[in-house]
């Protein structure tokens, strides 16, 4: 209005002429950059209040509205002591995808670091991932394929291309600074033959990825394979006929230890998570994964520190760092105010199998070697394709039944058991109820006509749930469903080291 003459020149405010005559030499800075290596170690009272608030939002499924991804602040670190890991199920079907249930795929989310790992990638997983508000394709840095059946790997070439087409590659490339990343933006782990499959699929489709990937193959022993498995020439990638792609980085051939297990397959020598692999029994070689997160540093008990006279601020931060402080001539040791160190999460994700007892043997070996202090799993993701009445059929097809899985969970002291990989003969529990209501309505409206509701209805997954609960297993049992978010139970001092 002023520029268009709404006010006469003599009536214009003084500040207008001053600003024109003496413009600022430097534009005001509205955002102050925060160095990435700066960590605020001081825990302020308002951090505790915010953590309590966000904790309530987490329980009510609204935490993701706040986008807490800053892992430098005391608030996010305090929250991560409570909410640390989540599982997002993208596909829970066996054999093939259907309109109601997708092929196998599950994402492990680390809320502290922001990284996401994908376990198995059946056909259509990329579509399911784009539907989920909890999955970010650009944050998938590691992909683990349990075995070479199509419902666990046919979606992998398309997923890598979708990441590139959607412009997520720049996000991946910018995060390729980890020394254990083996020089690739995305690292893929699986049985022998996976490297050639992916190389041929991308080469034949002329996929020009703008980021790099590497396939690390787990070399199987003779006892891990069927008698004729090594006769399959298609497992070997011929470097002459099938040369590596320009976007492919050399992958490692990872051999099993003398005890038959694969240790630290991600080659992580830092104080990060360690991934173990076990061979489980199926119709073809199949793998299971054990993820052990690092122990969390001891947290500060602010109430105890205040009772000892420690003021809120710098001295509390020094105590949390393990330093001794002096308050009013009194020496206070860190162990006086620090809570016991909490162990990291232990998560096991099994591929297709009718016998995964090797996981129990791995836990026993780790316990004997003092790598873990107790045989305990926080979460076990295991298939339960058929119910107990079809045990022989499940065994012939290389799959498990719920009672067998629940008994294994008892031996492993599992706190949370998640069953997945269901046969299409079973209907979702909610769908079964809806179909029952619909059948009653159809009969009342037109009982003379034969409707679809008169056909033999599918049994409900409630059968599998009831059979798992009928065992001695006392932990939580969850039936996985597409787009289901499962929160890994937090580790408290009741589940701590040595317990």
Return d(Cα 146, Cα 143) in angstroms, integer. Answer: 10
- Tell me how many degrees the CA angle 62-65-71 measures, rounded to the nearest 5: 105
Neighbours of 57 (CB within 10 A): 14
Helical spans, DSSP H, in 69-155: 74-80, 125-131, 150-153
What is the enclosing helix (H) or strand (E) of 127? helix 125-131
By CB atoms closer than 10 A (0-12, 13-18, 19+), residue 445 is exposed
Catalytic residue among 110, 120, 151, 482: 151
What is the enclosing helix (H) or strand (E) of 244? none
What is the enclosing helix (H) or strand (E) of 110? strand 105-110
CB burial string 150-184: b at 16+ within 10 A, e below: ebbbbbbbbbbbbbbeeebbebbeeeeeeeebbeb
Return d(Cα 325, Cα 300) in angstroms, integer. Answer: 14
Is residue 202 a contact partner of residue 245, using CB atoms and an 8 Å limit? yes
Return d(Cα 386, Cα 463) in angstroms, integer. Answer: 10
- Tell me how many degrees the CA angle 492-495-497 measures, rounded to the nearest 5: 105
Q: Among this protein's residues, is 482 annotated catalytic? A: no
Largest Cα separation within the chain, whole Å, is 99
215 beta partners: 188
Is residue 356 a contact partner of residue 288, using CB atoms and an 8 Å limit? yes
Q: What secondary structure does DSSP assign to 322-390, as a single string? A: T--EEETTEEE-GGGTBPPPBPPPEEEEE-S-SB-THHHHHHHHHHHTTSSSS--EEEEEEE--S-GGG
What the block records as the tokens of 1 is: 């209005």
Is residue 284 a contact partner of residue 276, using CB atoms and an 8 Å limit? no
Residues marked active site are found at 151
């Amino acid at each position: 209005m002023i520029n268009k003459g709404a006010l006469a020149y003599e009536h214009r405010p003084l500040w207008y002429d001053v600003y024109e005559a003496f413009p600022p030499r430097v534009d005001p800075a509205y955002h102050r950059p925060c160095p990435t290596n700066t960590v605020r170690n001081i825990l302020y009272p308002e951090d505790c209040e915010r953590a309590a608030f966000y904790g309530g939002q987490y329980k009510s499924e609204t935490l993701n509205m706040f986008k807490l991804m800053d892992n430098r602040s005391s608030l996010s670190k305090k929250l991560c002591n409570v909410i640390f890991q989540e599982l997002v199920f993208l596909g829970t079907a066996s054999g093939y995808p259907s309109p109601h249930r997708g092929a196998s795929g599950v994402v492990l989310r680390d809320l502290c670091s922001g990284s996401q790992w994908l376990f198995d990638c059946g056909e259509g997983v990329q579509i399911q991932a784009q539907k989920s508000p909890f999955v970010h394709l650009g944050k998938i840095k590691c992909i683990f394929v349990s075995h070479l059946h199509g419902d666990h790997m046919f979606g992998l070439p398309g997923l890598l291309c979708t990441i590139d087409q959607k412009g997520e590659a720049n996000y991946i490339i910018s995060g390729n600074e980890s020394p254990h990343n083996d020089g690739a933006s995305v690292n893929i782990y699986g049985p022998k033959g996976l490297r050639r499959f992916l190389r041929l699929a991308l080469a034949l489709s002329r996929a020009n990825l703008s980021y790099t990937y590497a396939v690390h193959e787990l070399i199987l022993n003779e006892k891990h394979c069927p008698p004729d498995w090594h006769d399959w020439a298609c497992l070997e990638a011929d470097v002459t006929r099938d040369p590596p792609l320009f976007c492919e980085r050399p992958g490692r051939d990872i051999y099993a230890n003398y005890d038959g297990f694969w240790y630290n397959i991600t080659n992580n020598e830092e104080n990060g998570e360690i991934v173990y692999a076990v061979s489980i029994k199926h119709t073809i070689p199949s793998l299971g994964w054990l993820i052990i997160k690092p122990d969390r540093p001891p947290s500060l008990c602010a109430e105890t520190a205040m009772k000892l006279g420690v003021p809120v601020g710098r001295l509390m931060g020094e105590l949390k760092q393990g330093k001794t402080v002096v308050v009013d001539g009194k020496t206070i040791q860190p162990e006086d105010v620090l809570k016991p160190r909490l162990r990291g999460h232990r998560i096991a994700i099994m591929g297709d199998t009718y016998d995964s007892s090797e996981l129990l043997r791995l836990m026993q070996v780790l316990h004997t070697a003092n790598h873990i202090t107790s045989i305990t799993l926080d979460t076990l993701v295991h298939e339960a394709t058929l119910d107990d009445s079809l045990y022989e059929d499940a065994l012939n097809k290389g799959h498990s039944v719920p009672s067998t899985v629940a008994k294994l969970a008892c031996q492993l002291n599992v706190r949370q058991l998640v069953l997945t990989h269901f046969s299409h003969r079973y209907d979702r529990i909610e769908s079964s109820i809806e179909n029952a209501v619909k059948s009653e309505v159809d009969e009342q409206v037109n009982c003379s006509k034969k409707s679809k509701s008169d056909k033999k209805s599918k049994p409900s997954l409630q059968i599998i749930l009831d059979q798992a609960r009928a065992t001695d297993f006392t932990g939580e049992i969850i039936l996985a469903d597409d787009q289901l978010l499962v929160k890994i139970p937090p580790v408290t001092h009741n589940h701590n080291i040595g317990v």
